């Protein structure tokens, strides 16, 4: 499968998703099941317009939050695209200098 990679600048939304999917209920950074939380792209979003009709894996980057990229599978509905996290493992690190948390995915 081919992948498409893009920068996702909604840092707070992405951080909330990561915490809900990988670190809730003592999961310790492991994706155990298909998550119920997704990123939703509606018709007003530029990425929605680019991704509609494609069968690609999605890699999202966010330099403030993610080291490297985070993998997603895409589900296309009538008027939205849902990005479902598919990276199996997440490691949370913090920078001692500015106390900023970052995530790495495997």
Q: What is the pLDDT of residues 26-62, one digit of tens each?
A: 778 998 787 778 888 877 777 777 777 777 888 999 9
Task: Tell me the average pLDDT across 69-80.
Answer: 88
What's the CA gap between 62 and 68, in Å, rounded? 8
For residue 56, give its domain range.
3-105
What does pLDDT average to over the chain?
86
| pLDDT band with cut points at 50, 70 and 90 for residue 100 | confident
The domain tally of the chain equals: 1
- Kindly state the percentage of the chain with pLDDT values over 70: 94
Q: What angle do CA 59, 103, 96 make, to 5 degrees?
A: 145
- Tell me what pLDDT residue 39 has: 86
Single pTM value for the model: 0.83
């Amino acid at each position: 499968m081919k992948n498409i990679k893009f920068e996702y600048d909604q840092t707070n939304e992405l951080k909330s998703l990561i915490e809900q999917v990988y670190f809730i209920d003592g999961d310790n950074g492991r994706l155990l099941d298909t998550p119920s939380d997704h990123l939703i792209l509606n018709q007003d979003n530029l990425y929605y317009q680019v991704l509609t009709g494609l069968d690609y894996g999605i890699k999202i980057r966010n330099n403030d939050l993610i080291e490297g990229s985070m993998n997603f599978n895409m589900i296309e509905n009538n008027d939205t695209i849902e990005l479902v996290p598919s990276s199996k493992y997440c490691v949370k690190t913090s920078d001692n200098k500015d106390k900023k948390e970052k995530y790495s995915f495997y």
